[in-house]
Amino acid sequence: MSLFVILENSLVSDDEDKKYRGTHLKYVEELYKQGKVFAAGRFLDNSGGMIIVNVGSREEAEKITINDPYSINKIRDYTIKRWDSVF
């Protein structure tokens, strides 16, 4: 398993983002229950958020972003980076 940081960049206003936040959070919560999410949260300046996932490959991290309601509805775009946790 490897850790990947998924940086989410908001493409819309906060009001538009809120329309999809509930379905996005349910999606991330299900991934958390499956043991795939290490940490997740939004940036307080409303610029997006971050999800740290523990998955088998970059392709699996990409699949997570593709199936995210924010991605499907073009609310956020994503940058994925492999991450090495020191602590």
CATH of the domain at 44: 3.30.70.1060
SS3 of 46, please? coil
According to the model, what pLDDT value does residue 7 have? 98
Distance of CA 21 to the CA centre of its chain: 12
Cα distance between residue 27 and residue 1, in whole Å: 21
CA nearest to 53, candidates 42, 40, 41: 40
State the pLDDT at residue 87: 87
The series of mean pLDDT values per 10 residues for the chain, 87 residues long, is 97 95 98 98 96 98 98 97 93
Which pLDDT score is estimated for 33?
Answer: 98
Per the structure, the count of domains in the chain is: 1
Q: For residues 32-42, b (16+ Cβ closer than 10 Å) or e, as one string?
A: eeeebbbebeb
pLDDT on residue 9: 97
- Return the pLDDT at 5: 98
Please tell me the predicted confidence (pLDDT) of residue 45: 95
Range of the domain at 36: 2-83
pTM for this prediction = 0.93
